[in-house]
Structure 1
C-alpha cells in the first residue's frame, strides 16, 4: 500500500481519511479508494493494551469479535480472539495484512487474531474501507486492515505502562523494548522488538448495572387476540425453573428450593410468571448471569526481528521472523440445567421432609432445575501461538527507458492453537445424579456402582450448595480416554499458510497528462489445517466443548494487474485493477476494480469506484467435522418451553466463493481560503451474492413450526426427562444462499495547527452513518438491521472526535466517541394494549428502545530529559465520566439467562480506566 508520506506528518490526532488502497505508491487524496490511517501519535495518545482496542473504536469497525464478546464461543474454539469486523459484515470478510502480506488464521474460519500481531513496532494502521480484492486478493470484501511496521528504526526505545479501573480491578501491565541499528557500514540493518502484556481480568460481574434482573420474558397473559404484547422487557426478572442451588419445577412440590446444606424452603414465585421466567418474588435468588468474565485474563508476548542487506544500489535482501503467543482464560457461564434433571423417589440425597411429602402424595419422580452451585463455572483456556518466517528480495531495474521496482518474497506462517474447556462429562454427570443407598452398607452410592462396583462413580447432589465433596466434583469433570485422564475437552490445531509472491511496478510510458503507472504480480498460497482432540469429544461426551479435529487444505494461484492513467493533468485520473484467481476447491474467479478521481478546481476532488470482490470459503466452512455444544431454545410446539439440546455444526465442501459488487462515491474538500481544513464524505454500497451463511437455531425451530419441512429435517426429537417428546438435537451447516446488502456514508474532517495559548491546537473527527444492512435468506422478507444495537448490528451513527494540544514539552488530548440510540428489533411492534397478532418476524413488545453512548477519554504527556535519553511520562483516563453501559434485556430464548445486561460489542463495560506509563528513547 502506498505510504502516506509528508501529508501524514501534518496530521495531529486521528489522521484523516486518505486514498491509497493501491499497490502503486500514491499520496494524499489522489486515488479513489478511501483509507483511514491511524498514526503512531494517535496510538500513543490512546495507549491501548492491545492495538485492536483502538482499531475497534473506528466508526467503520463495528461488531468485532473481542475477548469480551466471545465468552460463549467455547465449543467453536474462538474464545479470546480479537478479530476485526469492517462494516459489520463479519470478521471473515475483512482481510488482515502485516506490511501488505497475509497472516495465517487463528481459528478454522480463517479469522486473524490481532493478539498474535507483533504490536510494539507498528508505525501506523491503514484501514481500506472498500472492496479491495482485485488489489490485495480474496477476503477483502468489506476492506483491508494493514499493520505497517517501522522497519527502518534506528535507536533504542522502551515503553512501560500499567493501569486499573476505578473499581480497583482488571490490573494491566505492558512493557515493550525495541532496538534498531545499522550494520556493515550502513549496508545492513537489524531491528528487534519485544512486547509483553498482562491483564488480570475480571471474573464475575462486579458492576451494579448487572444486578437489576433486566431480561425479556414471554407475557403469561398473551393470546393472539387479547391485545397484549407477547414479549415483556422488565426489571427484577429471574428464572423460575432453575436456581443456583436447585428448585423442583413440577408436581405438587413445585417451588420447593434448596439452600445451603441442602435445607429445603419454599421459593416465592413472582406475580408475573411464565416459565422459565418470572418478575418479582425471589427473583434475585434466580439471577444467573454473574458467572462470566467481564473481561478475561490475558497474557501476550511477541517478538519481531528483521535483517536487511543492501547488496548494491538496486538490490536489497531481507529476512523477517516473528513469534507471538497469546493466552486467555475466562468464564463462560454456569452449568445450566433448566428444569431437565429427573430425580427419582429413591434418590438418597432427597431431604427427609421432601421424601415424606413425596411418599404422601405418591410422587415417584420430579424434575429439578439447577445452576449447580457446587460446580465451577464453565471455563475456557486457550493458547494461540503464531510464527512467521519471510525472506525476500526488493530492488529496481531499468527497462525500456524507465525504472521499475520489484518485491519478491516467500513466507511461511504457522498458528498453533490449544483449546481447553473446564466442563462436565455427560456420562459421569448422568450416573452421579442417580444416587441411591447401597443396601449392603447403607452408604450413598451411584446406582450404576451396584452393578459395576469398580466404575469409580461418585454420587452428586444437585439439591443445595456446599453439599458435595471435592472428590465428587473432580469426578464430574473427569473422563478417561486413550490419552489418559482428562479434565475437560481439549483440542490442538495447526494452521499452516505458505505464500510465494512477486510484484513489479513502474511507469513505462507517458501520455500528455503525465506518467502511466503499472503494477502486476503473481501469488501462490496454500492454507492447511490439522489437529487432534480428545476421544470423549468425538462422541459429544462433554456438556460443552466437544471439539472435533479438522483436516483440510486448499491452494490458490492469483495473478493481478493494476494501472493508473492520468487523463487530464492534475484534474482527471483513472485507476483500474483486475485479478484472476484459481482455487483448488472451487475453481476460477475474476475480480476487478475501476476508479476515477476528478478535481475540477484545486479545492475539491470527486472520487468513485466500482469493484467486484470475493471471499472464498474458509477451512472451517469447508471441512468442519461436526462440533457439538449444549444450548437452549424456545420450542413453540410446546408453548415456547425452554429446552436444552445438542447443536451440531458441520462443514460443506461444495461451497463456492462469495461475490460482492461494491460502489463508492466521495468528495474531498480542501478549501484554499481555509488551508488547514480538510473534509471528506464517501458513500458506499455493497451487495454480496451467494453469501455463505447458516440459519440460527431459534429460526430453524420457528420456521419448522410455521410448516417448512426443510427446517424440520434439521431437528431431532427424543424423549425428555418426564417422558414427553422434546428437541434433543439441531443440525446446522453453511450454504451459498444469502444476499447481503450494506449502504452507508463515511465522514471525516481535520483542522490542524491553530496557534492558541502559546501552543498548537488541532481538531479531527470521523463518523460513519450506517444506512442499510440486510441479509436475504430467501425465506423471510429481509430486514434492515441498522440500529439494532442489542447485538452485533451497527448503530445508525458511530463517531469519534479528538482535540489535541501541544505546547513545548506538554501534550494533551480530549476524545469524544460514541454512537446513536437504537432498538432491539426494527420489525418489533411496540404496544401495551390493542396489540395486533404477534408473529416470529413482527413480535409485539412493551418497549423497544436502547440508549446510545457518549464517552470521553483524556490523554496527557510531558517530555523531559532522563540522562542522555528523551523520556515522556503519560497518563490516560478512558471513560472519564465513568458512564455505565445501557441496560440490555436479553431473552427470552436461548441461553440469555447467562448473558450480562449490556452489549460488550458496543459499550464500555469496565467503567473509568486509568493508565500510567513512561516512554524512553535512547
Structure 2
C-alpha cells in the first residue's frame, strides 16, 4: 500500500533516536535492522545518522502537530518492545513501573484484593498523583474505562505481547487530549506494519514456588490489493496463576504492633497479650481471629481462653496450643490475584485513493479473576445495612445473641450461661457456608474507524474518525449470608411433636427457613447453609463514544521556517450503569449495600495547536521555536460548564548538541460519572482509630472527646484492662457528589539536553518539573475524619460535619465511616528527572548500550482544609513517595545474542507518616516530662519499630538468541532471571503478607523462558 511520509517516518525511526532527537535539535538517527525495538529516552541517540529522515514530518505523543524531528519541546520517555520482552513478564503495569521511575502502581494484583470492584484491575499513575489524573491512551486514542469506581484503563486488558512501545510525557496535556491529562499521558502503541506470521510462547515461575505465568501470542500481517490495503491480526492468551499466602513463610506471621507512649516501648501481641517487642521471636507473634470453626461461646476478651465447644463438652484450650488464641486466616487468602485473559485485535487500512486512506481497528479483551477469602466470620454483634423495600428508608440489622432456650444449646453451655440470663455470646466462622469468593468477569470492546488524507496539493493533512468502547463487568460474590435469614434461623424451637427442631417464625418456615446450629464443627446443616447463604451479583456497564476531526498543515512562512498548525473539534459521551440484584440493592447481607445507578456526561470541544519558529542558524540560536496549544471544552455537568486548557512551550538549540526546553500548561480534570452520581456503595477499609487505647485517665489528644462516646465508656467499664480497643476495620461506604466541579492543574517544566561532540553516542537530559493541582477531587482519609471529629477542640455533640460521617455501636466500635468526594485538596509535586543514554561500538565484540533514568523528588504534598484551617502534609521520603527512584540497564549485542542486565532502585523510606508523627509527638512529650523532672520521664525511649526501610535494589538478567532461517524466517529463544539476588525487602508491617508491594511483593527470584518463531 502507498505509505505517506508521515507513516514512513514513524515506521522507520520513531522507535529509536528519531523520537529521542525530537528533543535535541539534531537530525534523526536510524535504527539498525536488529535494533528497531530498543527502548530509548527521548534524548537517546544512535551512532548512524540518516539525514533524509530529518526532513520528514512526524506526530508523537503530546501533540497533533506534524513537524520536523527537531522541533518538539515536550520531554518524552519511551519503552520499546525489546525491553518489554526482556522483562519476561506478562503484566504490562509491572513492566512499566519497573522500567519507568516516573510511574508507579495505582491499582495492582497485590493491592486490589480488598476492593469491592477492582480486584484484578491494574493501573499506573504518573508522579504518584493518582490513576485518574494520568490519561492512558491506546494508539493515541482515548478508550473506555475498565472500572466501576473511576476512569481507570486497566493494563490487564492490554497484553504486553501486543505492545510495540510505550510513550510517556509528564505534565498537563489537556490542551491536546482533553480532560484527565493533568499529570501526563501514557500512550500504549500496539504492533502494526508487520508482515507474515508470528507466534511466541512464554512461561515463568518463582523459584520459591507459586506465581506461575504462561503466555501465548499469535499474529499475522499482510498487504493486499496491490499494496493498497493492509491487514493485521493479533491475539494473546495469558494466565497468571497468582500467589497464595501459604506459598511464603513470612506471610503466615500475623503481627499486631503498637507503640506504648507511657513506657516509650514497642509492643507486640503474643499469647500473653501485648509484650515488649525486644526479646520476642516472630513465631511468638499472634494476631489471630477468635472466629474459629465450631464457634466460641461466652467469650470475655481476645486474650483470655474462651469456651470452645468440640461437639461434646466446653473446652478452654480450643483446639490445642496451635490455635489456642485463634485461627490464622491467612491460610485462605492470596498475595496476588490469579487471572486469565484472552485478547485479540484486528487492524485494517486501505488506500481508497492516493490521497485518502481508510483505517480501522477493533480490540477485544476478556479478563477473568478469582479472589478467594476465608469463610465469613460472624458474631452476635454482626450488623448489616439495608434499605426497607416498602419505605425506602435505610436501616441497620444486628444479628443478635443466641436465645438460651434454643434447643441446639448444649446443656453445659446453658448452665454456664446463667450469668448472661437469656442470651449467649458467640463468635463463629461459617465454614459450612463456604469460603467467600469473588469472581470478576470483564469484557472490553474498543473500536474506531476513520478517514485520513491530504489536501491543498498535499500541504495539509486531515483526519476524521469515530470511536466506540464498551466495558462490561459481571461480579459474583459467593458464600456471604443473609443476616435477616440468619436471625430467623437462630430463633429455633421444637415443633409440636417435641422432637423436630424448626424455625419459630411461621412465615420464615414457609420461605424455606432451616434452623441454624452453631455449636461444633460441621454442625450447620446443608439446608441451613443454603437458607442463609447469599450470592449477590453486580453488573457494571461503561460506554464511550467519540467523534473527532482535525486538519494539520503549515499556515504561513516565517523567516526561520513554516508555522505548523492544527485545528480540530471533538465530541465525547461517557455513560455508566450499575445493575445490582435484590441482595445488593436492599442489603441486609454480610457483604456491602451497593445500590444501582445510571449516569452520563458529554463534552464538546474545539482545539488548536501551533509551532512558531523564531530563530534559525544565528549565533547563540541554531534553532528557537515557540509552541502553543489551546482547547475549549463545554461539559454538560452542572458545576463545570465551559473550561479552557492552555499550553506554551519553547525549544532553544543554543549550539549544536546543547538544547534548552520548557513548558507551561494549564490542564483540567472534570469529575467522572461515578464521582458525580454514584450513591453510597459499601466498602471496607482499615484505619487507625484515634480513640484506640482510651482509658478513664488517658490524656492523649482527643481522648476527652472519645470518653464522651457512650459505647467507648461501656467498653472501658467492661474491659478487665480498663481500656478501649478498636478492631481497626470498618464499613466505609463511598458516595459521589453531584456538586463537584473541575480540578485544575498547573505544570511547569524546564530542562536541557546535551549530546557532546567529543563522545559519540552519549546523551544527557535533565528536566525540572513542578505540578500543582487545585480543587483536587478527593476524600478525607478515615484517620483524618476521626481526627477532625475528636481532636480539633470541638466538644463532641457540637456541630461538626466530620462527626456526622462516623457511626459507632453500643460497644464503641466504628460501624461506618462515610466517604464522600469533595473538591478539597491542593496537590503539589516537584522534582528533577535525569536521563543518560550511551551507545558504544566494541567492533568485533559487538556493541554496548547503557540507559539510566533517575527521578529525584523535591516535594509531594497534600493541602486540605479542616476544622483548624489548612493542613499541608509533605510525603517525600515515605513509602510510596520515595525521594529517589531509578532504573538502569546495560545491553550487550554480539552477533545473534542480546544480553541485558537491568536494575531498579528505590531510596530508603519511612513506612507511615501518621505513625511517625505520633511517635515524634510522644518523644516531645517525654522530653518535656524529663525536663520538668517528672517521675513519668522515660530516660531511654525506644525508636519506632517497623518504620525505617533501607534502600531497595532489584537486579534482573535476560538473554536472547536469534536464529535466522530460510525465507526470512527466524526463531528467537529467550530466558532470564528477575530479582537475581532474591531480595524480597524487609519485613513490612502492615503490608500484604508482610511484604511491601513496592518491594517485590513476595515474588522473589523469578525464572522465565520464551520461544518465538516468525515467517
TM-score, normalised with respect to structure 1? 0.88
Matched residue, 2:701: none
Distance 1:210 1:144 in 2: 36
TM-superposition CA deviations, 1:55-98 (whole Å, max 9, x none): 12221112321122110112xx1111111211111111111111
> In the alignment, what sits opposite 1:239?
287
| Residues 885-916 of structure 1: CA deviation (Å, up to 9, x unaligned) | 332222xxxxx9xx432232553422222222
Specify the alignment match of 2:257 in structure 1: 216
The answer to whether structure 1 residue 778 and structure 2 residue 865 are counterparts is yes
1:525 aligns with 2:572: yes
Q: 1:324 offset after TM fit, Å?
A: 1.4
User: Is residue 88–residue 1009 contact of structure 2 (8 Å, CA) maintained in 1?
Assistant: no
CA distance in 2, matches of 1:168, 1:43: 24
**1:326: which partner in 2?**
367
SS in structure 2 opposite 1:679? strand
Task: Say which structure, 1 or 2, has more relative contact order (CA 8 Å, 6+ apart).
Answer: 1
Cα 1:475/1:186, change in 2 over 3 Å: same
Q: Residue 989 of structure 2: which of 881, 884, 889 is its match?
A: 889
Query: Match for residue 607 of structure 2?
Result: 560
1:739 counterpart = 2:826: yes
Give the length in aligned residue pairs.
877
Residue 495, structure 1, aligned to residue 538, structure 2: no
The separation in 1 between residues aligned to 2:324 and 2:907, in whole angstroms, is 32
Structure 1 pair 362/333, CA: closer, same or farther in 2 (3 Å)?
Answer: closer
Q: Distance in 2 between matches of 1:833 and 1:93?
A: 34
CA shift digits 1:287-329 (9 cap, x unpaired): 4334322222211111111211112221111222221111111
- CA distance change for structure 1 residues 540 and 311 in 2, over 3 Å: closer, same or farther? same
Deviation at 1:386, TM superposition (A): 1.2
Structure 2 unaligned segments of length 5 or more: list them.
1-5, 19-30, 44-59, 269-273, 383-400, 617-621, 692-705, 707-711, 713-723, 927-941
Greater fraction strand: 1
Q: 1:571 Cα deviation (Å)?
A: 2.8
Structure-1 separation of matches of 2:311 and 2:380:
21
Candidates 101, 114, 125, aligned match of 2:166: 125
Cα separation, 1, equivalents of 2:891 and 2:729: 53
Kindly indicate whether the alpha-carbon contact (under 8 Å) linking 1:120 and 1:193 is maintained by their aligned counterparts in 2. no
Partner SS for 2:668? strand
In 1, the alpha carbon distance for the partners of 2:322 and 2:258 equals 15
The separation in 2 between residues aligned to 1:27 and 1:160, in whole angstroms, is 39
CA distance in 1, matches of 2:636, 2:878: 39
Query: What RMSD, in angstroms, separates the aligned Cα atoms of the two structures?
Result: 3.2
Partner of residue 973 from structure 2, selected from 856, 866, 873 = 873
* Alpha-carbon shift at residue 467 of structure 1 (Å): 3.9
Alignment counterpart, residue 642 of structure 1, candidates 714, 720, 727: 727
Does 1:91 pair with 2:149?
Answer: no
Give the Cα separation in 2 of the matches to 1:745 and 1:333.
45
**Alpha-carbon displacement from aligned partner over 1:220-251 (angstroms, at most 9, x marks no partner):** xx45xx65679999554433763433445754
1:652-697 per-residue CA deviation (whole Å, 9 max, x = no partner) reads 1121111001111112121111121111121111111111011123
Judged with a 3 Å threshold, the aligned counterparts in structure 2 of structure 1 residues 830 and 717 are, in CA distance, closer, same or farther, namely closer
Listed one character per residue, the Cα deviations across residues 152-178 of structure 1 (whole Å, up to 9, x for unaligned) are 222111111122221342332211111
After superposition, the C-alpha distances for 1:83-116 in whole angstroms (9 at most, x for unaligned) are 1211111111111111111000112311112222
Matched, 1:902 2:995: yes
Per-residue CA deviations over 1:805-853 (Å, capped at 9, x if unaligned) read 1111211111111311211234525869973459xxxx99555212342
Q: Which residue of 2 aligns with 1:511?
A: 558
Q: 1:687: which partner in 2? A: 772
Partners of 2:208 and 2:267 in 1: CA distance: 39
CA apart distance, 1:15: 1.4
Alignment of 1:58-97 (within 5 A): 58-74=100-116, 77-97=117-137
| 1:361-760 equivalent positions in 2, closer than 5 A | 361=419, 364-398=422-456, 403-427=459-483, 430-431=486-487, 434=490, 436-438=492-494, 440=496, 445=501, 447-449=503-505, 452-460=508-516, 465-478=521-534, 488-569=535-616, 570-585=622-637, 586-630=640-684, 634=689, 636=691, 637=706, 638=712, 639-642=724-727, 645-706=730-791, 709-715=799-805, 717=807, 720=810, 724=811, 727-755=814-842, 758-760=845-847
Tell me if the contact between 2:300 and 2:306 (Cα under 8 Å) persists in the aligned partners: no
Q: 1:768 to 1:350 in 2, by over 3 A?
A: farther
Contact (CA 8 Å) 1:16, 1:748: kept in 2 or not? Answer: yes
Q: 1:451 to 1:475 in 2, by over 3 A?
A: closer
Post-superposition offset of 1:25:
3.6
Alignment gaps of 5+ in structure 1: 270-279, 479-487, 891-895
Structure 1 residues 250 and 701: alpha-carbon distance in aligned structure 2, compared to 1, 3 A threshold: farther
Q: Name the CA distance, whole Å, in 1 between partners of 2:1004 and 2:491.
A: 46
Alignment of 1:855 with 2:954, yes or no, is yes
Residue 877 of structure 2, aligned match among 767, 784, 787: 787
Cα 1:363/1:878, change in 2 over 3 Å: farther
Of 597-606 and 31-40, the range deviating more from structure 2: 597-606
* Secondary structure of the corresponding residue to residue 303 of structure 1: strand
TM-score, reference length from structure 2: 0.80
Shift of residue 584 of structure 1?
0.8
Q: Is the 8 A contact 1:715 1:727 kept in 2?
A: no
Tell me if the contact between 1:883 and 1:911 (Cα under 8 Å) persists in the aligned partners. Answer: yes
Tell me, what secondary structure is at the counterpart of 2:834?
Answer: strand
Distance in 1, matches of 2:625 and 2:374, equals 56
Contact 1:158 1:177 in 2 (8 A): yes
**Equivalent residue for 1:178?**
219
Alpha carbons of structure 1 residues 348 and 837: separation in structure 2 relative to 1, 3 Å: farther
**Residue aligning to 2:46:** none
CA 1:833–1:614: 2 relative to 1, 3 Å: closer
Q: Displacement, 1:518? A: 1.0
More helix by share: 2
Matched, 1:824 2:899: no
* Contact kept in structure 1, 2:79 and 2:166, CA below 8 Å: yes
* Superposed displacement of residue 45, structure 1: 1.3
Do the aligned partners of residues 429 and 86 (structure 1) sit closer, same or farther apart at CA in structure 2, a change above 3 Å counting? Answer: farther
Is the Cα contact below 8 Å between 2:15 and 2:80 reproduced in 1? no
- Using the alignment, how far apart are the partners of 2:136 and 2:743 within structure 1? 18
Where in structure 2 are the equivalents of 1:33-432 lying within 5 Å? Answer: 33-57=74-98, 58-74=100-116, 77-108=117-148, 109-117=150-158, 119-217=160-258, 219=260, 222-223=261-262, 235=282, 236-239=284-287, 242-245=290-293, 246-247=295-296, 250-251=299-300, 254-258=304-308, 264-266=314-316, 285-332=326-373, 335-337=376-378, 340=381, 342-347=401-406, 352-359=411-418, 361=419, 364-398=422-456, 403-427=459-483, 430-431=486-487
Give the structure 1 partner of residue 40 of structure 2.
15
Distance 2:572 2:113 in 1: 33
Structure 1 residues 852, 207: CA separation in 2 closer, same or farther (over 3 Å shift)? farther
Distance 1:33-1:878 versus aligned 2 partners, 3 A rule: same
Number of the residue aligned with 1:917: 1010
* SS of equivalent residue, structure 2 residue 147: coil
Tell me, yes or no, if the aligned pair for 1:203 and 1:295 is still in contact at 8 Å. yes
Matches of 2:425 and 2:176, distance apart in 1: 60
CA positional deviation for 1:698: 3.4
Measure the CA separation in 1 of the matches of 2:225 and 2:859: 57
Alpha-carbon shift at residue 285 of structure 1 (Å): 4.2
Alignment check: 8 A CA contact 1:666 1:682 kept: yes
Query: Equivalent residue for 2:394?
Result: none
1:174-223 Cα deviation digits (max 9, x unpaired): 1111111111111111111111112222344420222333343364xx45
> Is the 1:433–1:462 Cα contact (8 Å) retained in structure 2?
no
